[in-house]
Amino acid sequence: MPQPRASRLSKPGKKSPGKLQQWLPLGSTRRKIVLWGAVPLLVLLCLFVIVDEIVMPLVTRHGSEFPLPDFVGQPLTQAQVSLSDLDLRHGIASEEYSPGQEAGMILNQFPVAGTRVKEGREVKFVLSLGRKLVPVPDLAGQSVRQAMLDLETAGLRLGEIAWAFSDTLPEKVVVFSYPASYTDVPLGSEVNLMVNRGRASSFTYAPRVVGLPLAEARRLLESKQLRTGIVNYRTDENYLPETVLEQSEREGTELDIGTEIDLVVSTTE
């Protein structure tokens, strides 16, 4: 039996064009603009995201930063071990004298502690040279007053004055100092003097009593064969009561034995 043929009405019709085809018809100017403008722009945008989020972090090692430790107060040798473990480098920015720190101690660092750094970063240090040493000047043969000036110029202080008796040396001059001349001592150290009195002596030198309690100042004056003169009181809350604030004779002044030295003493009332 012959098969029935499909009629034209039963044949499937052509598909209607989609929305993209309707909006961007083939060969249209709009389609060309999209293909030659928007698509390259989209590609560039994708490339930018890839470079910014993947490539650049790898190149700059983004994310490998860490806070810099505090090395201040450590010996340089100890800091070098820590720097090596962190893959950091170091340099010496400067060196300076520091009375309270031994030589080789780190006084400062750049960048400061807590700064986020990466491996390979150089850290600059300021190192201590320790306490500055200065030579004791040659004071032999000088007067006590001149010896005090020379000590002050050298950055040193006058210590105790002891007496020697010699007929071969001029009176009232320094015989020698202790520590001895040209000895290197820390800046600000005291230097004691041995002063010749000759055969007999009727003079002495004023000691420094400023800053001492009144009772201790009296004893020191007596040990130098001096007497305490008029004691005036002045209100000064920066010092403990009965602290000597001023003395009428300057330290090192040559005085006759028995001379009175007036004092100004602190009080809180």
pLDDT at 10 over 80: no
pLDDT in tens, 42-72: 777 777 767 666 655 555 555 588 999 999 9
Beta bridge partners of 67: 116
Q: Which amino acid, one-letter code, is at 99?
A: P
Higher confidence at residue 97 or residue 28? 97
pLDDT band at 226 (very low <50, low <70, confident <90, very high): very high
8 has pLDDT over 50: no
**Above pLDDT 70, what percent of the chain?**
77
In percent, how much of the chain has pLDDT > 90? Answer: 51
- At 44 the pLDDT is 73
Confidence label for 169 from pLDDT (cuts 50, 70 and 90):
confident
Where residue 253 falls among pLDDT bands split at 50, 70, 90? confident
Top-confidence range, 7-11, 173-177, 244-248: 244-248
Give the pairing type, strands 66-67 and 227-235: unpaired
**Alpha carbon distance 123, 80 (integer Å):** 11
Q: Whole-number mean pLDDT of the chain?
A: 83
Predicted local confidence at residue 1, as pLDDT: 47
Q: Residue 127: is its pLDDT beyond 80? A: yes
Residue 261: strand pairing partners: 228
What is the number of other CB atoms lying within 10 angstroms of the CB of residue 214?
18
